[in-house]
Structure 1
Amino acid sequence: MIPAQAISPHCTLKTFTSVASLNVDVACKGNSSGASNPSDLPRSRTLLQSPSNPSDGMKDFERQLQELYDEVKSMILMGNKDNAMDLLQANYEVVKEQINAGARGIEEAATLDVIALGYMAIGDLKSVGPILYLLDKVVESLKDDGPLLDSVLIHMGSMYSALGKFENSMVVYKRVIGVLESKYGKSSIFLVSPFLGMAKVLVSIGRVTKAIEIYQRAITILESSRGVESEDLVVPLIGLGNLLLKEGRTTDSEIHFIRGKEGRELLEECLLISERSKGKDHPSSVTHLLNLATSYSQSKNFVEAERLLRISLDIMAKTVSPEDQSITFPMLHLAVTLYHLNRDEEAEQLALKVLRIREKAFGKDSLPVGEALDCLISIQTRLKRADAELLELLKRVLNIQEKESHESEEVMQTLKKIVFYLDKLGRKDEKFSIQKRLSVLRMKYKQTVQY
């Protein structure tokens, strides 16, 4: 190990560590729809609390791993990502030498786990894959009843999910659930974390019925051990509530009403739990208000959505600056809601304010700015603003979209709008070149869908 303080590279540490002691923030840009971030986990199983019970002899190695991760996180916060990656790579080389020499114990697994989590925190998903591959080889030889394996496996399930490797994630989650059930029983509070991770993976692979069942198991365990008003219930309730709402959109009208109503009731329960424990004006209520507003918008109840969004903005106004970028998310949602209520002038003013704040916070060519521009264009189109101005806004959106992909469906839709306005403005030369590109893209997209 090479933590912040220099440790001899020839020193092989033979003690154990509880990697669950690491306070990890997973910040990745990949497919994380199935990831179980530490912030999603109930306090009963935070990364500072593990069902494993390491002896005093394990604490020195654990401390060194903690120092390593803390140093990496500190470097990231200070903007020294290159130094953080150098530190992680140095440790990776050391542990690989140990493994090649035949050492494949929990200490090697824990070290690889921390290194992988460090790369996740940086956002370097490409480096995480090979580390997980090696880690998988190490843990497959470890006995299920060994110490600390549960913590490593939970992290692996989350990281595999963040990489979009859902089959690997499912295998790991099944193993850790088996480990915890054999140690602590099928009603153990320690099962909640892997249950939440598994539920998200099941949603990602389309196994919705099974995901609902897993969410319900987690809720049952928490209710029996923490009580029906515990804050720990918020995460699984939100997950289940949003899932039921999402599923309601794809079924017939009667089922839509039942699932939509059930999902909204769960989200309302989350809001009530938060308000009871922290007060009605606490910033933590904003997330629940936004979830509820979204559900009402999906049901076309834009009046109630507007009410909830204005409450969330009032709460945020007491805690953040009017120019803080975080306030733009409920503000843009409100602009869309007002658009649906045909209050276009008010919606336009909000969208313009969001655009200005986001340009300053994220840069004029950022994805959040593209989202604001897209909303503004829809509003100004109905307000019949000048065609030339709308065309320039569309070109800005296209430029932002093309930074992500030149052949996405979003790019294709924006090109169609640009062709429409070029035709209205009589700019035939520009229209011809864009139309030709659009035809090629349509053909490619059609072939991709068929394939």
Structure 2
Amino acid sequence: MAVSLLHHPPLSNQRITQAFVDLNSRSLQRGITCFSICLQKQKCSIELYMIPTTTVARHWMLKTFASAGSLNAEVECQENQISSGFSTSNDFGSRSKTVADSSSKPSDGVKDFERQLQELFDEVKMMIKMGNKNDAMDLLQANYEFVKEQINAGSRGIEEAATLDIIALGYMAIGDLKSVGFILNKLDEVVERLTDDEPLLDSVLIHMGSMYSALGKFEKSMLVYQRVIAILERIHGKGSAFLVSPLLGMAKILGSIGKATKAIEVYQRVISILESSRGAESKDLVVPLSGLGNLLIKEGRATDAESLFNRILSIYKESYGEYDGRFGMALCSVAHVKCATGNAEEAINLYRKALQVIKDADYMAVDDSIMERMRIDLAELLHVVGRGNEGRELLEECLLITEKYKGKDHPSSVTHLINLATSYSQSKNYVQAERLLRTSLEIMMKSVRPDDSSITFPMLHLAVTLYRLNQDEEAEQLTLEVLHIREKAFGKDSLPVGEALDCLVSIQTRLGKPEGELLDLLKQVLKIQEKEFGYESEEVMRTLKKIVFYLDKTGRKDEKFSMQKRLSVLRMKYNQMMQY
């Protein structure tokens, strides 16, 4: 492995060098219901399964539609260019000029340094794209060791900050978040000493804000964004387009931490800035319009969001025409908001039209994950309105495409096998559901360790189906295995464990297990649900009903009285909610 040092021209009377490595269920409602794992969406009547890429320790609750595969792919691409800064470009090339160079062109030294930073980042991206992840990490580590020497020697200027920034962006591109956090801590120590008139500082701060946000460090991200916004406002004014990137980052964080009202104000400010500087039909408006629209849907204001997504559709129609794939993506987004407002049939028609436009335009490959998600979204919606056969056809299409392009026993097919099983279970065709689930479980067992938590999803689903087929002994055996794996993976008081326990109670009830044992299991479920959903949640109310039943059967009258009183209060609350 050849290692060479590239020596760069002087900057600020200092020679900058970089080291380059030269390598190119819900809980069950009545007894037991069809166990399903849902997409990351918001509320509907049927949920279709998506295998998590990492261990999931969340409750898979019923949610309204929030299309994962609609306009978001196109928006994410633009966000990379406008706001995120680390996915496609280091963004130095389009930075604003700070005080030091706002009145003249950047010095040759600064421009050359920017070029070197861009080349380093491009090299890292190319290595990742070619599958040379280890080489990319070696390159980043070599550069980090060099800049660390500079810092230890007392150099803590913008050159060191910008280099650390690029290294952090590189690790972000690789997905090594631990290293990103470590580098950001070093970078923060350097940046806090810099004055606001340093060249490149605005770009560095924007990148830092985005990376802190990606790490979930929202407070640090907000502080960084506030600093760069103040810098840019002082230089360019409060209506400058240079403010768009950090403002979008700030709006996204505000929405994430529950400050929706403030987030909406920031999104509206961005829209106003872009309308003034780029025009009312500018494609740059898509990102803030989409961000604001999605936030409004999240806040239960789907009707307000509809006009925003229609505006995006109009912008894409004007820019690209009705037969362009991007117009198709925008159609999907409008379908999503139509569904959120209750117009399911109109949403279905829009989804179908969108998929056809994208296919005819050859905008993305037939096996693209975005296309797959859109088919699943549409299939789910068809099931909701009672058109399960049509939905099942789409799910079968997803399975056939995956098998064609990835192989019949590829782990990716498990998603579609379980989705199909869910569909058949809804139609009460449990025999067909069992066959599909056994196939999915066999594939998973070949792909992961026997104690891997991901294997418990099809396993528990199969247990529920076997329960429906009155094969209680095998159902119990599978559920106990799920329980053992999940307790080890998530902890005994985790929600996945609570879900498995709830299934086990229903199965063991029919097997005639002692009522005292079943009561103990239900109390454990109740404890988990109280922690996760709150003491007055609907899940808690359903479990209380079961506990009261078993307390009555076991003759524990005193304990039953207190539980019955609590249950009555909750029932009254939910009856009042239903009236409104």
1:189 paired to 2:241: yes
Larger CA Rg, structure 1 vs 2: 2
1:308 paired to 2:350: yes
- Shift of the alpha carbon at 1:41? 5.9
Q: Return 5+ residue gaps in structure 1 as ranges.
A: 18-27, 249-258
- Shift of the alpha carbon at 1:62? 2.0
The one-letter code of the counterpart of 2:118 is Q
User: Do 1:244 and 1:262's aligned partners in 2 also have CA atoms closer than 8 Å?
Assistant: yes
Post-superposition Cα deviations, 1:308-355, rounded to whole Å, max 9, x if no partner, equal 111111112123377433432322222122222322222111101112
1:449 paired to 2:532: yes
Aligned CA distance change for structure 1 residues 192 and 122 (closer, same or farther; 3 Å): same
TM-score (norm 2): 0.65
Post-superposition Cα deviations, 1:379-429, rounded to whole Å, max 9, x if no partner, equal 21233334364364278379869979x898x99886664333222334343
Q: How does 1:27-42 map to 2 (within 5 A)?
A: 39-40=78-79
1:6 paired to 2:5: yes
Aligned CA distance change for structure 1 residues 304 and 5 (closer, same or farther; 3 Å): farther
Q: How does 1:80-229 map to 2 (within 5 A)?
A: 80-229=132-281
For residues 363 and 50 of structure 1, the distance between their equivalents in structure 2, rounded to whole angstroms, comes to: 45
Q: Which of 340, 348, 367 is the equivalent residue of 1:324?
A: 367
Match of 2:569 in 1: none
For residues 283 and 16 of structure 2, the distance between their equivalents in structure 1, rounded to whole angstroms, comes to: 33
The one-letter code of the counterpart of 1:147 is P
Aligned CA distance change for structure 1 residues 318 and 148 (closer, same or farther; 3 Å): same
The one-letter code of the counterpart of 1:136 is D
Q: Which of 476, 482, 485 is the equivalent residue of 1:432?
A: 476
Aligned CA distance change for structure 1 residues 41 and 206 (closer, same or farther; 3 Å): same
Post-superposition Cα deviations, 1:29-81, rounded to whole Å, max 9, x if no partner, equal 999x9xx9673167699823111242222122222222211211111111111
Aligned CA distance change for structure 1 residues 141 and 335 (closer, same or farther; 3 Å): same
Greater percentage in helix: 1
3-state secondary structure, aligned to 2:329: helix
3-state secondary structure, aligned to 2:120: helix
Q: How does 1:386-405 map to 2 (within 5 A)?
A: 386-387=430-431, 389-390=433-434, 392-393=436-437, 396=440
Aligned CA distance change for structure 1 residues 128 and 319 (closer, same or farther; 3 Å): same
Q: Which moved more, 1:428-437 or 1:299-308?
A: 428-437
The one-letter code of the counterpart of 2:217 is K
Q: Return 5+ residue gaps in structure 2 as ranges.
A: 18-52, 57-71, 485-491, 499-523, 535-580
3-state secondary structure, aligned to 2:325: coil
The one-letter code of the counterpart of 1:89 is Q
For residues 419 and 261 of structure 1, the distance between their equivalents in structure 2, rounded to whole angstroms, comes to: 41
3-state secondary structure, aligned to 1:218: helix
The one-letter code of the counterpart of 1:283 is G
- % identity of equivalent residues: 46
Aligned CA distance change for structure 1 residues 354 and 430 (closer, same or farther; 3 Å): same
The one-letter code of the counterpart of 1:270 is I
3-state secondary structure, aligned to 2:299: helix
Post-superposition Cα deviations, 1:344-370, rounded to whole Å, max 9, x if no partner, equal 222111101112223455677888645
- Shift of the alpha carbon at 1:142? 0.3
For residues 81 and 150 of structure 2, the distance between their equivalents in structure 1, rounded to whole angstroms, comes to: 35
Q: Which moved more, 1:215-224 or 1:341-350?
A: 341-350
1:290 paired to 2:328: no
Aligned CA distance change for structure 1 residues 38 and 296 (closer, same or farther; 3 Å): closer
- Shift of the alpha carbon at 1:433? 2.9
The one-letter code of the counterpart of 1:237 is L
For residues 368 and 210 of structure 1, the distance between their equivalents in structure 2, rounded to whole angstroms, comes to: 40
For residues 129 and 152 of structure 2, the distance between their equivalents in structure 1, rounded to whole angstroms, comes to: 33
